[in-house]
Amino acid sequence: MTAAIETAGLIKRYGRRIALSDCTLSIPAGKVVGLVGPNGAGKTTLLHLAIGLIAPSAGGITVLGRSPAERPDQLGRVGFVAQNTPLYAGMSVVDHLHFGAWINPRWDQTLAEQRIGQLGLNPRQKAGTLSGGQRAQLALTLAIAKRPELLILDEPVASLDPLARREFLQGLMAIVADHGVSVVLSSHLVADLERVCDYLVVLVASRVQVAGEIEELLAIHHRLSGPRRDSFRPPADWEVIEQSDVERQSTLVVRHKGPVLDPAWMVEELNLEELVLSYMGRAVGNGSTSLKLAGVQR
Amino acid sequence: MIRLAWRQFRSEAIIGVAALIVVAVVLAITGPHLMSVYRMAPDQVTSTYHTLQVAVVALLVIVPAIIGIFFGAPLVARELETGTFRLVWTQSVTRLRWLTIKLAVVGFSSALLAGGFSLIAAWWANPINIVNQNRFSSATFGILGIVPFGYALFAVTLGATVGLIFRRTLPAMATTLVGYVATRYAVTYWVRPHFQAPLRMSARLSTASGFSFINTPTGLSMTASPPPIPNAWPLSASIVDKAGHTPTSSYLQHACPALTTGPGAGRVAGGPHTTPVIQGSMQTCIANVSAKFHEVVSYQPANRYWPFQIYETALFVVLALALAGLSMWCVRRRVT
């Protein structure tokens, strides 16, 4: 199966700033993929590269097996909702549906009208007067009614209140169930992604830290706590993500397939947020270069 | 995509057409009266609607600039400013095609609008132009004929390109105004006179008018306005002898003692309001000078009016196409 997004050594520089460094990644199709990372990690840059809004400085990226945005039909295969859901403030809801219909050959007007009806939006209302949640829903409607194979959403719920957030994500889940579309969705909040995603990519300091099926990630990461051992050397098949030592106790987050047999360790399951935070902590603690890169905001 | 471009241009187009209708109504009401004045008393034609005439000229001069500022500059800049480019450039149309169609729709509509203003005004001002015989002059050439089409096309692409580079509407508007005015000025005074080599004509000083003496660091010199040539465009006039030399300072002091020395020296003389004493000495002066000197006028003749209209329109269309090419390069390579 073709990957939704595949990158190799992808780099994006703005002058001397590095927004994305040496990103190699394969995001499978048919998933709801969460792209998580702190602000300025390079999430938006990666998504803009995928939709073809910007061109890479070096390296390669293919989306659904082809170069992004090279041709109109490729633009039609990918739906995109940009951060802050830009819409034409002076155009009404129904004008936006016309906009979509005039500019997309595969436009599904029935679907668009249905969704607007379900959302209870007034078709005559100007987009500039819609609430944040309504704007996001209208932008999502535009993106889905062009019948894309892949839907890319850049921080779609970041500016929404909790209720609008839940409604938006519920709408997204309904779309995935109805249309079988692949989704890549970025957020700096794990809680948003946990509800809807089945695949996770953690991007910190312009580098991919970990990527995989959420279930699998949760199965292979463990938190171990036990008496402090100063000369502790983890077994070769353990990858220690995080280690903290207090007076008498050591706590580790390790990546390890299979059970932990040493009875000295108390084994706990991690939740997704804890898992992501340990990777973020590791990336930021990795040295001054990473810290500097984490500060690069796009 | 064409329908989208129309939809987004709709409110601007409505305002433009409404303005055109208002002007057309005003001119349609006054036009027949102006024509009847021309038939009965041609010499009163330029004074009957003088204020309206000044307003029409001013309107025609600024229409292409307004089009560039309000139709051209926001065309791309507003999308970049509000972030909607991320919406429209990720639909099933490449941004190159998007820009091409937007430029074409807005550019051609603007050209038609500017041309419409110009045609209506040309109809209205026809009696005035017949009497004034100055359609080739620097002030009139640019507001009548086919050049307004070219100006509007240029103004729109200039605005769009500047907006694309600046990414903000207000600075783009200001720069468009400056760029448009500078280009029009440069073409009018430095390019248009050279579309074809000007013709030269000699005239006796007695046919000339508007004489004046100018004190320069090298001494006194004498100038005269070119004689009237109907519908031609006089470029320059100079007073020279058979060998092509201008009169020297000492010669002028000798030939025109009353005008070149004393309290009135160096002032413009020879107009209709000068005192009889000055007028008398002026006539003596001209008679003295014209014994040795004559006037040489360089000008563009009336029959070059339409060729020059075509050259200038073509020049602005080429400039517009060059700017469109630049903006297309920018939209593909530079932006974001």
B91 to A106: CB separation less than 8 angstroms, yes or no: no
Flag whether residue A80 sits within 8 Å of chain B, measured between CB atoms.
yes
* Closest Cα in chain A to B84: A86
Residue B261 has pLDDT above 90, yes or no: no
Three-state DSSP at B168 gives coil
Categorize the per-residue pLDDT at A237 as very low, low, confident or very high, splitting at 50, 70 and 90: confident
Instruction: List the structure tokens of B147.
Output: 């050049």
Q: State how beta strands A199-204 and A32-36 pair.
A: parallel
Residues above pLDDT 90, as percent of chain A: 52
Flag whether residue B94 sits within 8 Å of chain A, measured between CB atoms.
yes
Of B3, B84, B93, the CB nearest to A86: B84
Residue B86 has pLDDT above 60, yes or no: yes
Task: State the Cα–Cα distance between residues A123 and A94, nearest whole angstrom.
Answer: 5
Task: State the Cα–Cα distance between residues A21 and A11, nearest whole angstrom.
Answer: 5
Which pLDDT belongs to residue B272?
A: 47
B86 to A102: CB separation less than 8 angstroms, yes or no: no
DSSP H helices in A18-92: 43-51, 72-77
Which pLDDT belongs to residue A286?
A: 55
Residue A15 has pLDDT above 80, yes or no: yes
Neighbours of B301 (CB within 10 A): 15
* Closest Cα in chain A to B90: A75
Instruction: List the structure tokens of B96.
Output: 């190159």
In Å, how far are A170, A220, B38, B42, B45 from B33, measured between CA atoms?
A: 71, 94, 9, 12, 10
Name the more confident of A283 and A118.
Answer: A118
Which pLDDT belongs to residue A1?
A: 60
What is the average per-residue pLDDT within A169-182? 91
Neighbours of A238 (CB within 10 A): 16
Instruction: List the structure tokens of A186.
Output: 């970025």
* Closest Cα in chain B to A151: B90
Task: State the Cα–Cα distance between residues A8 and B331, nearest whole angstrom.
Answer: 26
Task: State the Cα–Cα distance between residues B247 and B245, nearest whole angstrom.
Answer: 7
Confidence (pTM): 0.87
A103 to B92: CB separation less than 8 angstroms, yes or no: yes
Three-state DSSP at B255 gives helix
Question: Is the CB of residue B220 less than 8 Å from the CB of residue B227?
Answer: no
Distance (Å) from the C-alpha of residue A24 to the closest C-alpha of chain B?
A: 22
Question: Is the CB of residue A136 less than 8 Å from the CB of residue A73?
Answer: no
Residue A296 has pLDDT above 60, yes or no: no
Name the more confident of A159 and B269.
Answer: A159
- Residue pairs between chains A and B whose CB atoms are closer than 8 Å: 70
Name the more confident of B276 and A38.
Answer: A38
Flag whether residue B93 sits within 8 Å of chain A, measured between CB atoms.
yes
Residues above pLDDT 90, as percent of chain B: 61
Q: Which stretch of DSSP H or E encloses residue A62?
A: strand A58-63
Name the more confident of A105 and B276.
Answer: A105
Length of chain B: 336
Q: To the nearest whole number, what is the mean pLDDT of chain A?
A: 87
Question: Is the CB of residue B192 less than 8 Å from the CB of residue B312?
Answer: yes
Instruction: List the structure tokens of A212.
Output: 């995989």
Which pLDDT belongs to residue B275?
A: 55
- Sorted by where each begins, the domain ranges of chain B are 2-196+304-333, 206-292
Average the pLDDT over each of A183-187, A193-197, B155-159, B315-319 and give the range with the smallest value: A193-197
Q: Which stretch of DSSP H or E encloses residue B201?
A: strand B199-203
What is the average per-residue pLDDT within B38-62? 90
Distance (Å) from the C-alpha of residue B187 to the closest C-alpha of chain A?
A: 38
Question: Is the CB of residue B193 less than 8 Å from the CB of residue B137?
Answer: no
What is the average per-residue pLDDT within B32-51? 88
Place of tokens 């320069």: B216
Three-state DSSP at B301 gives coil
